[in-house]
Homo-oligomer: A and B are copies of this chain.
């Protein structure tokens, strides 16, 4: 079994929660008003931490379904995927918990990739950002994205990238992301759709 030594079964985190301590929020302090951080998120009932298996029972997948199709996922399937991520390493699914009822109200995922380029470095990707849309005005989007962005920096990643829809560009610009001139395109093939019958002209 893969797990943190000493954690009771089923109460372990996807990754070492100590990695979220002492992130360098000074570098992004101008991006939130009032200033917040993962350890001082603005309300005493907000908790930023790694994903754990119990989150299945506290609305984690329902939250993700605000973002895209999740479909039917049993707890067994969830646990299997949780351990697949934990075993592979490089998966930093990070959530915001409302500690009053333990519900999961925000989530974002940092994924790190081993590279040969840049002197065998580490590259970061931001994925699956979602905040419960009933908690507006608390900067939870900035909170959850900046937390994993600072984690990527701490892990030594040389860059962090994300793909996003047009309407989210201003949000990500407001927290330091940018579109590099001539190099800001995301392209896709979907295998769950019927492919085109002929080559595009």
Contact = CB atoms under 8 A, between A and B. Distances in A.
Contacts of A175: 199
Interface in A152-188: 152-153, 157-167, 169, 172-180, 182-188
A10 interface: no
A186 B160 CA distance: 10
Contacts of A159: 188-192
A17 interface: no
Interface stretch (A42-50, A114-122, A133-141): A114-122
A150 B74 CA distance: 29
A81 B176 contact: no
A85 interface: yes
Given A89-B88, A113-B127, A188 B199 contact: no
B174 A160 contact: no
Nearest to A162: B187
A59 to B, nearest CB: 13
A27 interface: yes
A158 B64 contact: no
Nearest to A112: B88
Q: Specify the main secondary structure of chain A where it touches its partner.
A: mixed
Contacts of A88: 88-90, 114
B67 A117 contact: yes
B186 A185 contact: yes
Interface of A: 27, 30-31, 60-61, 64, 67-73, 77-78, 80-81, 84-85, 88-91, 93, 111, 113-120, 125, 127-128, 149, 152-153, 157-167, 169, 172-180, 182-192, 195-196, 198-200
Given A85-B114, A184-B185, 15 more contacts: A68-B118, A69-B118, A70-B116, A73-B120, A88-B89, A111-B113, A159-B190, A161-B187, A161-B188, A163-B183, A169-B187, A177-B188, A179-B187, A184-B186, A186-B186
